[in-house]
Amino acid sequence: MKAQTIYHKQWLSLCIILLIAVISNLFVFTVWLDGANSTGQNLISSGILIISLLVLHLSHQLLLKKAEKQTASELTASQSSAGNLFPFLSSAIQQKKESLSQDVEKLRKINSELEHKALLDSLTGLQNRSAFRKDLMALLQPNSSPDKACLCLIRSTELTTINHQRGRIAGDEYLMAIAEIIQNVSRRFSTDRIYRLSGSDYAILIPHVSPSMAPVLGKELKQLFDNLQTQIATESIAYSGITLLHPGQQPEQPLARADLALAKAQTSTVNGWYFQEEDSTDDAFQGENHWQQAIQAIIETRHVGFSGQEIQPLNMAICNYIQIIPRFTGTNQQSLPLETVYAMAMRHGMMNKLEELVIENMLQQHKQHPENVARWGLNLSASALFNSSFIGWLEQLLLQEHDVAPDLVFEMDEEMLDCHPAASMRMFEMLRRAGSRTCISRFGKGLSSFRLYRELRPDYIKLDSGLIDILARDTTSQQFIRMIIEISHRAGCVVIAEGVETMAQREILERMYVDGIQGQLVSKTIAISETS
């Protein structure tokens, strides 16, 4: 049933009032007054009464409609109008509108802050990948400025090494130092479009530039990266790939050019840069092809050198242990970033050949140091677990070099071993048959670590640096490490702590009777030798 409005109800009330008025009028004229001339007077007075009530009703209804329209306009108007028929209602409406405006402004401000935070990297405070994609698409619009813009990709190459050798705190400081350098350079070129795309990749977008600006940008970045490298003593800091943006292109085109420029920079000079102005005539994976050729050249020329980080023993009964880190050089004798070489070799199916080259050269170098009484340790990649031909090759090589095999320790990460228990068991059993030592690195992810420990029975375990970072302030981690040490000592396994950065961490580990510690606090990475 349709609901009645106030105007329908007014008409109903008027009918009732008219009926009562007419009846009352008849009663007065017929009973109280003289009835001789009452009929004519009654009709006249009833008519006057009815007309008066109708006029009064119509004027009241017009006034009510006017009030309704004025109230509606009051709700939509920005300010209260003068002479409102309902001043109290108008005042209440205005107060409510002001309150709503304040609430809307607060919500708009909160939403703006959330959008801003969603586009920022939490560690460096730079804009993130989503902001980069948005700004890149805007610069590539066909109707954008006819002036060219510049894209610079920057890749930090030592993050994994620093995290592994010095701890995650040092890794965060390394990333922050690179971000600060990029911010300083960006201010020189009057742009605030700087981004952290991933864990180790950064980007700069500079609108309204000319091709002559690219060498200036590249040289500026290299100089600052070289200065930082001297301060923190690493193999390299970062590399830069520069290209130009052309309106109307798809984003994949400038990104492919920048990736190719970055690949060429990484295979040129330390902390180098390269400017790729035009598209390559090769396919869309020209950067990857460049790396494939670089890795093939490494294998053919056998350009592999080694550096090492010694593990300081806290238990004098254990044999000293040096972690060996391979170093690769390109055709121009420039050092190549280790993690990038390994990643590209695995992507192109060349990891096993590269790993065979590393092991062969390591054995050769160990023989050239007969005075060395420490064991040498090398980290194996994930592909080594699944390649039966590589496992057979390694076993045959170790059996042939039976004099050197006991002095070699092969490390594998716990997470990798835990994901592939059958392959891990096969690898560890082969190494034991060949007489070499085994080590589970980054050990201690959780209670599942003990299952892996029981099945593989390693000779060494390296405590994950994440446990060491929170050691001084987390009693739960201390209890967990004590339990690991106690179980390992009963099984005759040596426990080493990775990523020791402070004296407080060292003192706590000494009280726990850990067997050895590794980190920048006790030993820096030093070059062993290089072969060609």
H-helix or E-strand containing 431?
Answer: helix 421-433
Contacts 24+ apart (CB under 8 A), 137-145: 137/251, 139/205, 139/207, 139/245, 139/247, 140/245, 140/246, 140/247, 140/248, 140/249, 140/250, 140/251, 140/254, 141/247, 141/248, 142/247, 142/248, 143/247, 144/247, 145/207, 145/208, 145/247
Q: Which amino acid is at 64?
A: L
% the chain with pLDDT above 70: 81
The CATH number given to whatever domain includes residue 135 is 3.30.70.270
The secondary structure of the chain in percent helix, strand, coil, rounded to multiples of 5, reads: 55, 15, 30
Q: At what angle do helices 252-266 and 286-301 cross, to 10 degrees?
A: 20
pLDDT in tens, 1-47: 444 455 565 666 667 776 776 676 666 656 555 554 556 666 666 66
pLDDT in tens, 240-251: 999 998 888 888
Do 322 and 358 have their domain in common? yes
Do 356 and 394 have their domain in common? yes
Query: 51 in a domain, yes or no?
Result: no
Residue 387, pLDDT score: 86
Query: 28 in a domain, yes or no?
Result: no
Do 324 and 232 have their domain in common? no
Do 377 and 480 have their domain in common? yes
Query: 43 in a domain, yes or no?
Result: no
Do 515 and 380 have their domain in common? yes
Beta bridge partners of 275: 242
Largest CA distance in the chain: 150
pLDDT in tens, 480-497: 899 999 999 988 899 999
Residue 493, pLDDT score: 92
Query: 437 in a domain, yes or no?
Result: yes
Q: Which amino acid is at 43?
A: L
**Residues with Cβ < 8 Å from 389, sequence gap 6 or more?**
352
How far apart CA 447 and CA 13 sit, in angstroms, is 83
How far apart CA 222 and CA 240 sit, in angstroms, is 8
Contacts 24+ apart (CB under 8 A), 114-121: 121/195, 121/196
Find the mean pLDDT for residues 110-135: 81
The CATH number given to whatever domain includes residue 350 is 3.20.20.450
- Point out the domain boundary residue: 284, 316, 343: 284
Indicate the range of 148-157, 441-450, 490-499 predicted with least confidence: 441-450
Query: 108 in a domain, yes or no?
Result: no
- Point out the domain boundary residue: 231, 262, 284: 284
Query: 318 in a domain, yes or no?
Result: yes
Do 280 and 297 have their domain in common? no
How far apart CA 445 and CA 477 sit, in angstroms, is 11
Evaluate whether 377 touches 410 at the Cβ level (below 8 Å): yes
Cα radius of gyration rounded to whole Å, the chain? 41
- Point out the domain boundary residue: 235, 253, 284: 284
Domain enclosing residue 196, as ranges: 129-284
374-397 residues labelled b (16+ CB within 10 A) or e (exposed): ebbbbbbbbbbbebeebbeebbeb
When divided into structural domains, the chain yields a total of 2
Please check the confidence at residue 81 and state whether its pLDDT lies above 60.
no
- CA distances from residue 485 to 139, 236, 421, 481, 504 in whole angstroms, order as listed: 57, 36, 23, 6, 19
Do 202 and 291 have their domain in common? no
Query: 50 in a domain, yes or no?
Result: no
Give the strand order in the sheet containing 273-275: 194-196, 201-206, 149-156, 238-245, 273-275
Do 140 and 179 have their domain in common? yes
Residue 345, pLDDT score: 86
Q: Torsions phi, psi of 432, nearest 5?
A: -65, -40
Do 279 and 294 have their domain in common? no
Query: 55 in a domain, yes or no?
Result: no
Do 325 and 352 have their domain in common? yes
Residue 28, pLDDT score: 61
Do 270 and 393 have their domain in common? no
Do 235 and 348 have their domain in common? no
